[in-house]
Each structure stands twice: as C-alpha cells, then as structure tokens.
Amino acid sequence: MSDDNLSEVLIDRLKSLAAKPNDNIAGLRSVAARLHSRTASQDKQVKEKTLEYICHKKSGILALLISLLEVVKDQATACSLAGILHECVAPKSGKSRSSAISQLVSMNASQSVVKLIMQQQTKYVVLSDTFMLELMWLLAQLAQRDSKFSVKTRLVGATKTFHNVLRTYCNNTKLLYPVLLVIKCLARSSSTTSLLVKDGIVATMEKIIVCIGFTPNSKLRLSLNVINYLTKSRPCCIQTVKSGLLILLLRIFERWDRYEGRIHLKICSYIIMTLQHLCSTKIGRKSVCTHNGLTLLHKFSTHCPEDKSYDSVLARVCYIINICLDRKQLPVQSTSSPAIFTLPTLKEVYRYNEIDITGKHASSSHEASPGSDEDSCEDSLQEEAEEDDDSDDSDGNDDKDNECYKEEYKNKICNLPLPAQRDVEDLLGSNIDNHMMVKGLGVISDIPKDSGFPRVYAKIASRVNSILPFIKIAYPDMMGSDSSKELEPLNIKDRRVCRAKLLACVERGFSEFEGSNKVVYELDTLITELPPQRQNSSTNRLLVNSDELHLGQKDGTKSHLCFESRFESGNLRKVIQISPKEYDLILMPDVNSSHHHQWFYFEVSNMESNFPYVFNIVNCEKQNSQFNYGMKPIMYSVRESVLGRPGWVRVGTDICYYRNWYQNITSRKPRSYLTTAFTIAFPHSYDVCYIAYHYPYTYSQLLAQIWKWSVSVDSTSIYFRAESICSSLNNNETPLITVTAAESETNSVAMREIIFLTARVHPGESNSSWVMQGTLEKLLSNSPAAVSLRSKYVFKIIPMLNMEGVINGCHRCGLTNEDLNRRWSHPNKYLHPVIYHTKGLLEYCVFVLKKPPYVFCDYHGHSRRKNVFLYGCSNSDSWSDIDRSVPDNPADYLLLPHLMQHFSPAFSLQLCSFRVERERESTARVTLWREFGIKRSYTMESSYCGCDQGLYEGYHVNTICLKEIGEHFCDALACLHNESCWRKDVTTCSPGPLRLDLQGTLTGPGPEVIESERSDCSECEEEHC
C-alpha cells in the first residue's frame, strides 16, 4: 500500500469502527494512534496531505472525530482523537487550519469539549496530563474564534470548572499556557468575569505571577493580558488593589528597562492598561500613589523608547499620571456655561407629555427634565455624538418594546397638532399666482432689494436674539466668505512634536508651573462689566464691523495677543498667556450646560508677523479627533481680504490632540480634559484674523442667503417661498423653504411627490449648512437636473433646525441642554418647538395629504470619519424582531447611496450603514422611517476633515467641495424619479450589495435593475471639479 493512500485507509477504518466504538476498543485505539502520528508527522508532506484530507469540508471527518470523542470511554483512544483535532487547529497546521476551525465552531465543538472536561471533573476521574493537554490546546484554539464561547461556558455552568483547572495546573509548565488562553477568552465577557472574580481568581492570578517570576516569557505576557481583561470589572479592580497583585505588577513594571525585544512592549502595554483600569477607582488611584506608582510611571515617561510602537503606551502612562495627580480644575469661575436661559416652567412642559400610548410618561428613555445636565447616549461618555457608534443595548426589554410597536402600528394617529392651519394647496405651493417669495420672515421682509450683502447681513444680525450680548459682527460672515478655491492637503502629523507636548504637559502637572499665567481674555468678567441694560441681547442697536480700520494698528498698552468672541456663533471663554508666544484657551460649553466643548470661533489681533504663536485649547472632551489624523483649523485674514485674496484657509503646524492635567469634574468617570494644540505664524503684523474649528455658517448668513435668493429667483419658472414654520425658544424665526416648478395645466403641483430635507440639528456641524446651500443653489439653477427635479417634486427644506445653538456658539445642543436629534419620538412643544412643528408638518403630509415624503434626508457633520456617506434604515438589519419579520426591498434604500457613489467623488459607499439600532429610535432618520413609513429616510454625514479615497484623497474638504456634495445629491435625486419604470420588473431583490456601473445600471445578486433612459440625468456627464 502506498504511503499516500494510508491516511484514507485509516480514516475508512475509523468510520467503520465508529458505529460501535466501545466494542473493539483495541482496534479503535490502534487506528486513532496511527492517524494521530500521521497528523503530527515530521514529514511535512505527509502531515499536510493528511490534515487536508481530514479538514475537507465535504468529508465530514471532523464531525466524526468530535462525535467519537464524546462517546469513547478509553482514555488513550480519546487522547489520540483529541490530538488529531488539536493538530487540525494548531497554528502550524498550514492552510487547512482556518477551514478546520470554522467547521468545528459551526458544529459547536467547543461546547462538546467543555462538557467533556466537566464530566471528567465531576466524576473525579484523574485525566492524564497528556489527554488534558490535548483537550485544552484544542479548546484554546476554538475559544479564540468562537464569539459565543463565554456564553456557552456560562450556560453549562463550566466557568468555575475552568478556574479549578487553572488552580490545579498553575505549576504545570506545559498545561498552564493553554488554560490561560481559555481563561482569557472567558475574561472578555463581563458575565463570566463576574463569576470568576467571585470565585477568587484574583488570588489565583497572584499565585501564578509568583510561580512564573519576573523573567519575561510568553506565560508572563499571557498572564498579564488575562489580568488586563479581568480588571475591566470594577469588583476585580477592588480585589486586585486589596490583594498583593498590584504590588507585583508594579515590581514587574519597575524592571521594564531590563526586558528586550517585542515581549518588552507587550508586558509594558498590558501592565499599563491594567493600571489604567485600576486607576478608574478611587481606591486604585490612592494605592498606586501609595506604592510609588507615580514615580515609576514618571520615570517611564522620561525614558520611554523613541520607537513609534511605544506612542500608545506613553499616551496611557500620561493619562494615568494626570488622573492620579491632585485634581486640577479648569481656571474658570464655574464649569457651567455663563450663558443661561430660563426654560418654561415644569407645569407648562409636562402638561403635554402626560399622555402616552402605553399609559406611561410620554418621554423616552433619553428624556431629561428641563435645565438638567442631560447627556445623550454618547455624549455622557464624552464620545462621538454621531450615528456611527456600534453600541449594544441589552436591557432585556425587547419583547415589551415589540408589543408596544405592534400597538403603535395598529392604532397610529396624528397626535401632534399642525404647525399652522394650511389647506392642501397652501402646503404644496399651489397658490402660485402673485405669491410672496418671503412670507412670515419678518426679519428680512423690509430689506430693500438693492441693498448690498454686507449691509443686509448687518441689519439681519442686529435683529437676531442671542443669550449673551454681541458687540460686533464677524468680518468673514459679513462678507459672505467662502474657503480658498485651492485644494489644501491634509496635515502630516509629526509624532515627535506630539510626544514632546505630551511630556511637557505631564511635567506641568508634576510641578508648579512657572509661566506667566496672565489672563488676557475672560468672557465671564466681560459680561458682568456690561451695564445691566446690555447684559442681555434685547437692546436694539445696530451691530457693525470696523476691522478694516484697525489694520496695522498696534495696541501699545498690550504686549500680548488680543482676543474676542462676542459675535454670532463665536465661542471662546477664557485665554491665559503662559509664555510670550503661547496661550491656553478655554472654550465655552453649550448654553445651560457644562459639556460639549468642541466648536471654537474667535478673533485674534495685535500680532507680529512670522512669529510662531502656540494655541492650546485645554478643555476638549472627545476621546479622539481628526486633528490627530490630518485636519487643520481654519483662519481668515482681514488684511488678505482687503488685498483681494479673501477666503478661509487651513493653517497650523505642530498639530496635536492629547490628554492634559485638568480634571473633568462633571464626568461620571475620573477623566481629564484633552488639549488641541496648534502653532500659527500670522502672515501680517497687526492684522485682524479669525480662527475656527470649521467653516462658520451663521443663522444670519442663512437669512441673508434667503433674502438674496428671494430677489434673484425667476418667479416665472421657479416657485420659491420662504416662511417661518415657528419661533424658537428665544423668539427667532425658523425658515421653511419651498421649491418647485411653476404650476401648469399639464403638470399639477398637487400631483408631485414631496422631498423633505433638514440640516443643522447639531449647531457645531456647520459643514451640513454648506452642503445644504449647495443643494439649494442647485435646485434654484437652470441646469437640466434642477429643471427635472422642480417639475417632479415639491421640496420642503428646513435648513437650520437648531438656530439657537448656532447663534450662541454651541456645539451639540440648543437652549435646553438636550440633543434635539434624540427628541423626534416625543418632541415637546414648549422645549423643542422646531422639532415639534417640523414633525407636525410631516404628519400633515402623511396623514392629511396622504403624501409621505418620497425622500427624507437630514444633513449632518462627522468629526471622526473622513469622506461623505449615508445612514439609512433596513428592516432586515434592525434590532427589533418585528422589523426583521417584515421583508423589505433593498433597492428602496440602496439606490440613492449607489447613485451618490456614481456622482460624488467624496462619497464612500463602504461607510454607509442601514442598521436600525435601539438607541437611535428617537433620531429623525429612524423615527420618520418607523412612524411614517418613509422608506428612503437618511442621515447624510460629511467629514469636517477631508477624504481618504477618490478624487480628493489626501485633501481637506472646503466650502466648494461641501456645496458640490449638495449639488451631487440633487443629481442623484434627479435619477430617482425613473424608479417606477424599472421597479415594474423587480419583484424581489436579495439583501446583498448592489452596484451602479458607469452606464447607470443597478446590478446585484437579485434580478438586474435598469434605469430608464438618462435624458433627465444629463448632469451625470459633468466633470467633477
């Protein structure tokens, strides 16, 4: 018999013996042993062929081996079977390993092995070390790939069993490593971690560290990794501190400079992560300081290797140092905002919310009482407040919520009063003859048509109601300035500079700072110094800008930069000069809040040219920022504008984003603030410059643009109307814009579909306003796509949902300290009037006019991702069982993103998501999809930073790019109206990915979907700028 066929013969023999495995024990033992020797052969060719034959998906041999392992009683035979399976999944088993692991995980082999180990333990059968070694190595490899391993182990009650195994073999040099691998997989789950901690695993790990010693090796590295996972549990942190384990960890870390190679980095990293978990507790911070931990950490930061791989470790070390030092608070009078707005009384607020379809309080789980320091689901953790977070909500109320949705589906009523008494023609814009272009917007109704834009802007800005009084108009806003027309490359981060800044920050925290600490700007003091009649914005006076008059004039009384932020959308609370050319800046939180520090917009003057000035914004809250990944702040120079080179430009060198020593006392966890640091060399001496997080777009700018369109639009062919849908909390008007084509006998307005667009629900997302301006400019143009869109749709557009936040320089909220994009499920007419009346208008369209919007899209900005992308809603990808039970057609929500990918070079289809998450239920996108049945309900996200793919890869976005995105969205919408032509041929479409080729063909795994002729999509052939 040839050697090549021997494996096949042995497997055939094994199959024949498997029918009655305990009848011929000797024969089965012999076959299993010979097969095991071939899988572990030193002959590489024999080993690979045998493993390949065993692991072939269609052979079924792996399932046979598992079933035999479960029933065989002879320990030697079982050991050989376990050894065969171990060789199949071992890291050095070759190409067949991945297939073997996938098959074994899918057939639930890990649970079979767990049960086998449990049975042997409960029967008090002493397993040979060889058999246990094979079982544990097999389980260790499967557990790392089985995402439900911890759940399976907990359900069969085996968690404590593995802890007992660890206790038993803690001194066994061969068995310890695979057992630790299994424990690591269990420690990844909070449920099994809790069981292990209660069973005393901290003491066991302390014993293991003592047995292993301090010599660096793979067992020490893995043990430290297990401890790292375990200490994510607060009870484990407390036990670790109370035991001697913390002292052992510090002793190991003390010897960090004696280790060499990659294991050096791993050991340091795991210990630092463990210390970070321990220092999240008060007792942990105290114990680290008591046992000289801060000194060790400071020594590490001082002598940390320059290698790039240590950067993340150094950042964690500095974070631990900062939270363990004496709590240094921000040098402000109060962490709360100096801008305070008195909200409606509780009686008024809750009179409406007392009724709910479930018989309970109408407010959602996110609802907060007025004036409270409420955090949205992400902002409470100072994390990104955008729709891309993959957070899981497992409160066990799925069945209850599903029943609630069932009742809502059955008994859906229009429970919100209409924003105004409108008939069908008035809502759709049918009364076109002699219509008023501006209706109900009193702030711009009396401005003459022949006025210049700066004068118009000044008059509008003077009529805007703000919480704190403004003293001027920002020059760039008054001039209606865009960005530079040139594409600007992303910043290349200098990690050495960032490391130096991080270490300097730690040194400042350790020692008393010897800088000047001179306060050069303080908004709180400036407010109190104003006369009482000017401490609010109700005093009517014309705001002006005189920056041009101050160009070239040095303030001889001041040797420092001068700052100002008391203008619309401005945000800067305090400036401290810490050296002649370095300044610490503190941002103002949102109105009635102590959180949401990200947006900044301020004026700088009295500078000298070509000197590097360092700006440190020291109270940022987000855990990461695009400033670490290429983004630069923007600057506008008045001198450059006078010289004929107007526009915002990206500026800054040595840009870093890192943690500092200021403690965030408002955080639920011990956290320190983060610093955005950048250096600017101003091009002109004694210039007046404006610096901002992103291109500003104020409420007054929006109203000025509406005025500009109202006097320039050709009313004979375009129906354009701007009106106020309601007044905001501070009595500012909310513009609602209607755009469609003029009425004709052959094209009735009442027969057109409605497209509903909104933007700027988060005031700091100014890029969404620039995208919206691009959309409106396109709709009001004479391009073929615009003409086609106006003839087929009525556009209802609310370009600024949160004008109060925009006016007052907020980042996330308005005047109620609430995320308005978490209030769509149950808006309150007193606290959230704009959301309330916008939803009322939508309900009127759906339930009275019987015209649900064909497309709804809410424009947003994204601070953690690049490119542009869409979020949509899919039944099949919803958290709710009720949603998943209802089939949907992927073409409904996939076509528009694919069209955008075709038209817009900044768009990334890969970043699009159609998940419906439980915590997003009260957003506009999900609420309107669920309550009103709008299939194409989207959120469009645009990056603050730039693009990492396509035509704009490696470049910042600017206002031209942002407006282009809005134009391309119109191009994509122009192709949607032909949907009825190709949908007739589509009965089903599987949920796999669709693709749009260059000829406009939509293809996918289902039937081919073809657009009709492209006569109305002529814009597709335009060149991208």
Cα–Cα distance for residue pair 566/400, rounded to 1 Å: 50
Which of 550, 588, 586, 594 is closest to 569 using CA atoms? 588
Helix axes 311-324, 282-290, angle to 10 degrees: 100
Cα–Cα distance for residue pair 830/833, rounded to 1 Å: 6
Which of 922, 635, 977, 615 is closest to 795 using CA atoms? 977
Let me know if 941 is a catalytic residue: yes
Name every residue whose Cβ is closer than 8 Å to that of residue 731 and which is 6 or more positions away in sequence.
Answer: 465
320 with 289: CB under 8 angstroms?
no
Cα–Cα distance for residue pair 95/99, rounded to 1 Å: 8
* DSSP H or E run through 256: none
Name every residue whose Cβ is closer than 8 Å to that of residue 4 and which is 6 or more positions away in sequence.
Answer: 49
696 with 477: CB under 8 angstroms?
yes
Count the Cβ atoms, other than its own, within 10 Å of residue 358.
12
* DSSP H or E run through 889: none
Which of 205, 264, 263, 267 is closest to 233 using CA atoms? 205
202 with 166: CB under 8 angstroms?
no
592 with 816: CB under 8 angstroms?
yes
Residue with tokens 């062929």: 49
Residue with tokens 């999240």: 280
How does DSSP assign 946-961, residue by residue? BBSSGGGBTBB--HHH
Give, in order, the Cα–Cα distances in Å from 691 to each of 42, 50, 375, 573, 686.
68, 68, 28, 14, 15
Task: Give the ranges where 188-244 is alpha helix by DSSP (H).
Answer: 190-198, 201-212, 218-230, 234-242
What one-letter code names the amino acid at 244? G
**Candidate list 367, 378, 818, 941, residue with the active-site label:** 941
The residues facing 942 across adjacent strands are: 861, 868
Cα–Cα distance for residue pair 896/250, rounded to 1 Å: 56
Which of 845, 816, 774 is closest to 483 using CA atoms? 774
What one-letter code names the amino acid at 270? Y
How does DSSP assign 349-387, residue by residue? HHHHHT--TTSS-SS-TT---TTS----TTGGGT---ST
Give, in order, the Cα–Cα distances in Å from 639 to each of 550, 648, 653, 690.
10, 12, 21, 11
Strand ranges inside 693-732, DSSP E: 718-727
Displacement of CA 431 from its chain's centroid (Å): 44
Cα–Cα distance for residue pair 186/192, rounded to 1 Å: 6
Residues labelled catalytic: 941
